[in-house]
Amino acid sequence: MNFISFEAFLNMGGHGLYVWLSYGVGLLVFIIAFVDPILKRKHIIQELSQLQRRQQSKRTPDENTGSIN
């Protein structure tokens, strides 16, 4: 397709709203698919480090020093 102007390109023969909206939705889906695993990984790492700190704080002093009674 050849367009006379940039405005005609954006209008897409009267279908511009649907065309650009579908491009926008598709881009949004790709961004979510890219960012969501990164955020979930960060959250899992935070939860695991909190769990590890809790488990270390529950240990008795003898377990922390490594001495045998």
Domain extents for the chain? 26-58
Contact 36, 26 (CB under 8 A): no
* Residue 58: per-residue pLDDT: 85
Taking the C-alpha atoms of residue 10 and residue 54, their distance in angstroms, rounded to an integer, is 57
* Residue 65: per-residue pLDDT: 61
pLDDT (tens digit per residue) in 11-69: 998 999 999 999 999 999 999 999 999 999 999 999 999 999 999 988 756 555 665 65
Query: Region 4-13: what's the mean pLDDT?
Result: 91
